[in-house]
A and B are shown apart, each in its own frame.
Chain A
Amino acid sequence: MTKSIELAVIGAGPAGLAAAMTAYEAGLDVTVFDSEPAPGGQIYKAVGASPLADVQALGPDYADGASLVSAFHASGIRHVGSTDVWTLTPDGEIGLLCDGRASFVEAQRILIATGAQERPAPFEGWTLPGAMTVGAGQVLVKSAGVVPASGVVLAGLGPLMLLVAWQYVRLGVKVRAVLDMTPSANFVRAARFLPAALTAGDYIAKGLRLLRDLKRAGIPIHRRVTRIQAIGTDRVEAVEFEAGQRTRRIETPVVLTHFGLVPETSLTRALGIAHHWDGAQQCWRPMVDDWGRTDQPRIQIAGDGRGIFGAKSAIWSGQLAALEAARAANKLSRAERDAKAAPIRDKQRRDHRVRPFLEALYAPTAPDWRRLPDAVIVCRCEEATVGDVRAAARAGAIGVNQVKVFTRAGMGPCQGRQCGLSVARLMAEATGRPIGEVELPRSRFPLRPIPLGALADMEPPARREGEP
């Protein structure tokens, strides 16, 4: 591939797909790079090709994704699937890995739409087989029509947990309990944002309907849960939890947890883009303007990778970023861009009114990091524990990157995606600083493990241009 692409979109979730279509309509030459085999990202995974007999069981929002994905297919925009981006140079050379082979393409502009990941939240027993994320449950349902065979407990907080419980009930899965870890104080804090949230669309109404349906189905919902523990010798056998003064135990082979979503920032950090800590969303976010532009001229970000605002907002942010990319490539005038953007911004502004409410209600002040026993694993790959991190802090480490050197946390194949946030939390705790002052974990290329053979066989960009 020697031709330079005008706009490379990385990620084929709602933001990436919407951006690609808007850019294409404006006359840009666009290619979408996607680590999944088919478009849809995580939220619309396998939509249109689901093995589920009854896709409606997953609810109307998932079904909406089908029209977005078919529009994308119909557009004819080039979709390069099952391909990972493993590096990205300041000159716009994108390193691709597909089927064990590494290659490069050059792009003039890049839109990063790689989305979010589940917030990693260690608890006792979370590494046992059978303990997974709610998102994992969703992937299994959507792409394989696979559900827990003999019951499941869901634990944590956030809309996704309730949604999956509801989907499972509709699919006939035995939901043994929902353990809601939303702290009571959050209800109070969120209350003042409720009036605005009610004008944002039907989020609240939908949420209440989910809860009503779960109640009607007789699903036990335990509230104000403050601690959970997965129990078992070599697999999950039960979940123990504390709510109020009581400790209870529920037998289950599978426990799915969810503590909210956070932007997956390995690419944006590796690029050296500035990030800031967002106290309301409790995560690091890359710094972007309202066109998704970053401090690096070729690079924009759209979707949940810029901050968690939901699927609708992801679509609009993709469209806005694409309009600006088209203007930067002289396909649209500033006036044209702004005219097209105005109605999108109106919709987005209205939709965002729900965010302060959701962010306050589902602020993950649980689990209580101070109460986490030393033995809990914090880095799943290298098995570094909470105690190891605390010891590193006592030995003088002041941030996540030094903790890595002391404990190996972050040195495994997941490259710190599952432990970076947790280690930062623990370090804030241990050093008595607000987490916003703890340094950002360093991310480097390759963005994912890459076989040595792929590196050995590839043609690096500099050589292609005839340089020695």
Chain B
Amino acid sequence: MVSRFDSVVVGGGLLGMSVAYGLRLRDQSVAVIDEGDVAHRASRGTFGLVWAQSKGRGMPEYARWTRDSIQLWPAFAEDLLDRTGIEVTYSRCGGYMFAFTDDELDRRKADYGEICDGIGLAAPDFEVLDRKAVADAFPGIGEAVRGATYCPIDGDCDPLALLRALHRAFIDAGGRHFPGHILARIDDEGPRPKVETNRQTFEADRIVLCAGIGNRGLAKDLGCALPLKPSRGQILVSERVKPVIPHLTHIIRQTREGSIMIGDSHENVGFDDGTTATAMCDIASNAAKTFPFLRDLQIVRAWGCLRPMPLDGFPIYDRVPGHPNVIVLNTHSGVTLAAAHAGPLAEQISNDSLGITERCFSMDRFDVQTA
């Protein structure tokens, strides 16, 4: 059985659904092929941060792209609410990142200053807070915390609600979702690119690979060594407690239900093959240093998640070399960039202008060997 679409999106996680939704809004007929089920696993590994701070060092375009997405987020969240009734609870409350040494704080000040200059901001959109300011904002902060950087445009949302809303909005707008399909082959030799799964064949004008870490295997079959590695991250989740973390921070976050999520950040340590116990110990140790009153907090769940990490940390939005109708998309910031993915990125894909004028997110910047 063969089904015809303008675009076939491979992968129904946050990235795939944002792009698929955006393409559908632009009148593309879209099929999303997905191995898994309705509630996708990728979303579990994220805090749901919609975050600008610290992003884009070494690539101003990424800092700009991040801020563009954040600008689009309020209307994006509102649109999803209107269409689906699902509230993704986006909140631009401002975010804090703590520093444990004065050196760290100075370094960050310099780095962020560089980022802001790089994108031509009139004034830096972050503040450096000394210990006193941090202690005022966070009663009970640990002695080890020397200060923090604060960015007023940082915020968060409910990533599981976001995925559900994107899925619902996509379906309601006439998008087609095919769960339980495993990709067997991409055949773009003939005039009509085809995607063959274990259950049927799809024909499309373009194929958009959004399978996260799975993109490596898909690209390899097309002769491309995708510069991507799995980056394992762990999250600890506690029992519900009364509100005690008054503001948003990048590794400790209290949800509306009261449970506290404690995570790693890529800046900390590479958790490659570390045992789960080692990772849990590191995360817990950092959290206890930051907020010693959390020591009595009961952790009820912990999980690791393989995040797809482009080798330099910046997104890959490109066509597969030698396969102009196959687009590969990877980023580890699927939540922050969701608005941009459903907006300007989907726009570029739908009018075939991806990577034409802007090459910053292409694979050119790596030394991509053909596989």
Contacts and interface: CB of A to CB of B under 8 A. Distances in A.
Contact of A461 (B38, B275, B284): B275
B300 A449 contact: yes
Interface residues of A, number: 35
B275 A462 contact: yes
A272 interface: no
B38 A395 contact: yes
A463 B279 CA distance: 11
Contact of B275 (A89, A402, A456): A89
B33 interface: no
Interface stretch (A76-84, A408-416, A418-426): A408-416
Interface of A: 87, 89, 93, 95, 104, 395-399, 401-402, 405-406, 408, 411-413, 415, 444-446, 449-453, 455-456, 458-463
Contact of B295 (A396, A399, A412, A452): A452
A444 B303 contact: yes
Given A405-B160, A413-B239, A455 B280 contact: yes
A453 B299 contact: no
A164 B239 CA distance: 34
Nearest to B286: A456
B293 to A, nearest CB: 10
21 contacts: A89-B275, A104-B277, A397-B39, A399-B37, A401-B39, A408-B257, A412-B239, A412-B300, A444-B301, A445-B302, A450-B299, A451-B299, A453-B294, A453-B296, A455-B299, A458-B277, A458-B281, A460-B275, A460-B277, A461-B277, A462-B275
B37 A398 contact: yes
Interface string B281-307: 101110110000011111111110000
A104 B39 CA distance: 35
A455 B39 contact: no
Contacts of B303: 444
Contacts of A445: 276, 302
Contacts of B39: 397, 401-402, 405-406
B274 interface: yes
Given A405-B39, A444-B303, A452-B296, 7 more contacts: A405-B160, A449-B298, A452-B238, A452-B298, A459-B281, A462-B278, A463-B281
Contacts of A451: 295-299
Contacts of A397: 37-39
Contacts of B298: 413, 449-452
A455 B239 contact: no
B339 interface: no
Contacts of A87: 276-277
A446 B302 contact: yes
Contacts of A401: 39
B349 interface: no
Nearest to A444: B303
A462 B287 contact: no
A231 B189 CA distance: 70
A461 B276 CA distance: 10
A460 B302 contact: no
Nearest to B167: A396
A461 B275 CA distance: 8
B279 to A, nearest CB: 9
Most B C-beta atoms less than 10 A away, residue of A104, A412, A460: A460
B299 A463 contact: no
B236 interface: yes
Given A398-B38, A455-B280, A455-B284, A413 B275 contact: no
B297 A402 contact: no
Contacts of B38: 395-398, 402
B291 to A, nearest CB: 9
A452 B294 CA distance: 7
B281 to A, nearest CB: 5
Contacts of B295: 451-453, 456
Contact of A456 (B37, B281, B302): B281
Interface in B157-207: 160, 164
Q: Which of A398, A399, A408, A450 has the most CB of B within 10 A?
A: A450
Contacts of B37: 396-399, 402
A119 B322 CA distance: 59
Contact of B277 (A89, A399, A402): A89
Contacts of A459: 281
A459 B278 CA distance: 8
Among B237, B239, B300, the one with the most A-chain Cβ atoms within 10 Å of its Cβ is B300
Nearest to A408: B257
A87 B300 CA distance: 12
Contacts of A453: 284, 288, 294-296
A455 to B, nearest CB: 3
A442 to B, nearest CB: 9
Contacts of B287: 452, 456
Contact of A455 (B44, B164, B274, B281): B281
Interface in B243-281: 257, 262, 274-278, 280-281
A104 B275 CA distance: 13
B198 to A, nearest CB: 18
Contact of B299 (A396, A398, A452): A452
Contacts of A450: 298-299
